[in-house]
Chains A and B, each alone.
Chain A
Amino acid sequence: GENVEQHPSTLSVQEGDSAVIKCTYSDSASNYFPWYKQELGKRPQLIIDIRSNVGEKKDQRIAVTLNKTAKHFSLHITETQPEDSAVYFCAALQTSGTYKYIFGTGTRLKVLA
């Protein structure tokens, strides 16, 4: 089945700097890659996603890139702000066998003011 690895597990950046979180997946048949932001005590919220037929997608300060050959996808946050501090999860939709979302282990991002 699918396996998703996420790095780093913690990331501290200065306000205004960029943050990059990376994930790798194992199942080449996976075709959908969402990113979730989870603030303390709250639900995971979908912030951006990308399909396997697209290499990059951007939404204001957030972008996601996908390298299908290498089975890598990354979240890029530019001009970070303190309110970006949260745990971020990547996920991959496994389509081999039973469809299910496989989550990475999460990255705790701290934006220092």
Chain B
Amino acid sequence: DTAVSQTPKYLVTQMGNDKSIKCEQNLGHDTMYWYKQDSKKFLKIMFSYNNKELIINETVPNRFSPKSPDKAHLNLHINSLELGDSAVYFCASSHDWTGSSYEQYFGPGTRLTVT
């Protein structure tokens, strides 16, 4: 019954490795997001997809590559992990803004630790 789910919940890996985080939503939303929350708790948008199309790509290193195979899924692949990538990554979803519903819902987060 989970609305927005992410896997894995925890990810511990070494510098230089490549890793992926997966996200799925069953809310019927059109738009999905990736946010990064650093140690100071700032929530920063990284990417946004609307109907599988990339619409927001903030200033994020190109080691980060999102992929949306369909409206319900948004994955994040990170190449050549660096210490500074350690953070909590949240997936979120919402309807697009053509309708009347603007609520955005977050997944449980993936705590990435790079050693």
Chain A interfacial positions (CB closer than 8 Å to B): 32, 34, 36, 38, 42-46, 49, 51, 87, 89, 93, 95, 98-103, 105-106
Contacts and interface: CB of A to CB of B under 8 A. Distances in A.
A99 B106 contact: no
Interface in B95-115: 96-97, 102-109
A43 B56 contact: no
A54 to B, nearest CB: 13
A43 B45 contact: no
B109 A103 contact: no
Nearest to A33: B102
Contacts of B34: none
Q: Interface extent on B, as a size class? A: 20 to 34
A106 B41 contact: yes
A80 B28 CA distance: 35
Contacts of B96: 99
Contacts of B105: 46
Contacts of B48: 100
A107 to B, nearest CB: 10
A49 B105 CA distance: 13
Interface string B55-69: 110000000000000
B103 A34 contact: yes
Give the interface centre of B42, B45, B90, B102 by most chain A CB atoms within 10 Å. Answer: B102
